[in-house]
A and B are shown apart, each in its own frame.
Chain A
């Protein structure tokens, strides 16, 4: 695998990981935050 292919592969992994992170935060806001944030009251 040459340097260009390695870079492309790293790009794909980074993009997938970051998109997953976005999805997890979005879902956690719906599922979890309504439960524990009111505890601040």
Chain B
């Protein structure tokens, strides 16, 4: 290819499917990541609908306990690794270069590779689930999203092995993406954009990327050890041969707790932008938020065993992990007060992104507050493995992560598509989501406080009412999300033209570009003052 033809090929995307298979453009890859995350959100949602249908009434109606285990495990793995993380990665792909005035991510080809690993990983995870219906294998993994409810004998068969290979593939994808973000943020900023002028979303993703780089190799190594224990005669976790099953819990939670923040930090980074825009004020407490995010990153690596307080740790370790975990509430409170400071006496309007951002603050606040109580050793002894835990982490993951992602989707959707979405439908989607989300998860607090254990397909009669309400809420929550699909598809197909700035109070380099931005942007870097 001559330089001239290469330049033409670079300037214009391929037509049709080849554009999406071969693209190295950060906007294309951002859309691919977000679309993949959106599709997997519905796949994971379908699995949990089956689970909630089983829990509608006591007794076993629809699913065997083994099938139930597979469905909630797949729901969790898909929602965390297949939906929220890829969607947040899509946002970083699309937005980071625009926010820092870079022409693209630093490693565009690696970016393409990182994305196209994901569909194969998803297929690998799901294959054993479908194979069991044709009489092959014993189904997908049913050990929970952190896979440590295991001794080697609990589940044999191909499901766990497929899950292990899925984790290894996801690890490669996440690490390439993380390295790309670090190099882009540190090395591709426009002249004048010093680190302390970088948008908070970019800061949050820079810190998230470092967390992935530090935590993901441990998870991959733990998965590899599990694989070698199962098939190659090693005894890392095999107590019968001198290994230590608790070691698997340590290794997995050493990744698993930072992973909670890996899911949440991107949302924490974008919420200040949205609150500031619709309050017509600058971002409040910029430096404080940067330092708080860094502090949370550090603390997240030294608190992992609060997930294992009932596993027989020595008292000194339990007390340490209790206080260290509670210490996270300090930087988290800094963030929450900065978010409230952003809207304090602001000229607020309540468009859909603002509603979801405020919904995020309220619901994540409930998740965070209960997160402050749960590491208390005595409380944890009562509530560990109960539905209190299920409610708690859904208030953080859904109330924090997914509300945050929805706020971001509505905020930047007109920028991505060039069209405004239907505001009335957006608000309807918000209120239906809030109502159905709380109908689903508030009863789970009560069921848990009353002693209902999680990971069970059947339950005692006294939990019937709470489970019935929770299931009805879950069905409504699932149906409500179809409205989101309608809103997004309608916005992509047309609608009132969006201006470059989109929202009256919007600030940032991405809003200096037309909507949608041209295929290539900032080939000449802007000067940031």
Contact = CB atoms under 8 A, between A and B. Distances in A.
Contact of A18 (B188, B213, B312): B213
B37 to A, nearest CB: 24
A37 B251 contact: yes
Contacts of B246: 38, 41
B317 interface: yes
Contact of A10 (B187, B220, B312): B187
A7 B182 contact: no
B175 A15 contact: no
B425 interface: no
Contacts of A18: 179, 182-183, 213
Given A22-B217, A34-B236, A41 B313 contact: yes
B302 to A, nearest CB: 13
B107 A14 contact: no
Contact of A26 (B179, B183, B217, B317): B217
Contact of B221 (A7, A30, A41): A30
B225 interface: yes
Interface in A21-41: 21-23, 25-26, 29-30, 33-34, 37-38, 40-41
Given A11-B183, A14-B183, A15-B107, A40 B317 contact: yes
B244 A38 contact: yes
B263 to A, nearest CB: 20
A11 B189 CA distance: 13
Interface size class of B (residues with CB under 8 A): 20 to 34
B244 A34 contact: yes
Given A14-B186, A29-B218, A41 B312 contact: yes
B209 to A, nearest CB: 9
Contact of A29 (B106, B107, B179, B221): B221
Contacts of B106: 11
Interface in B205-233: 213-214, 216-218, 220-222, 224-225
A25 B210 CA distance: 13
B251 A33 contact: yes
A2 B107 CA distance: 20
B207 to A, nearest CB: 14
Contacts of A1: none
A19 B188 CA distance: 19
A10 B314 CA distance: 46
A29 B183 contact: no
B250 A40 contact: yes
Contacts of B183: 11, 14-15, 18
A40 B246 CA distance: 10
B288 interface: no
A37 B250 contact: yes
A16 B221 CA distance: 20
B305 A22 contact: no
Contacts of A29: 217-218, 221-222, 251
Given A14-B182, A29-B221, A34 B247 contact: yes
A30 B217 CA distance: 10
Nearest to B308: A40
A23 B106 CA distance: 21
A37 B254 CA distance: 11
A33 B222 CA distance: 10
B187 A14 contact: yes
A31 to B, nearest CB: 10
Interface string B259-274: 0000000000000000
A15 B179 contact: yes
Nearest to A3: B191
Interface in B94-113: 106-107
B182 to A, nearest CB: 6
A17 to B, nearest CB: 10
A25 B317 contact: no
Contacts of A15: 107, 179, 183
A19 B222 CA distance: 18
Contact of A30 (B225, B305, B313): B225
Interface in B169-217: 175, 179, 182-183, 186-188, 213-214, 216-217
Q: A29, A30, A37: which has the most chain B beta carbons within 10 Å? A: A29
B236 A26 contact: no
Contacts of A30: 221, 224-225
7 contacts: A7-B187, A11-B107, A15-B179, A29-B221, A30-B221, A37-B250, A38-B247
10 closest A-B pairs (Cβ-Cβ)? Answer: A29-B221, A26-B217, A25-B217, A37-B250, A18-B179, A14-B183, A29-B218, A22-B217, A26-B221, A38-B244
Given A29-B221, A30-B225, A40-B313, 14 more contacts: A11-B106, A14-B179, A14-B186, A15-B179, A18-B182, A22-B217, A23-B217, A29-B218, A29-B222, A33-B247, A37-B247, A38-B244, A38-B247, A40-B305
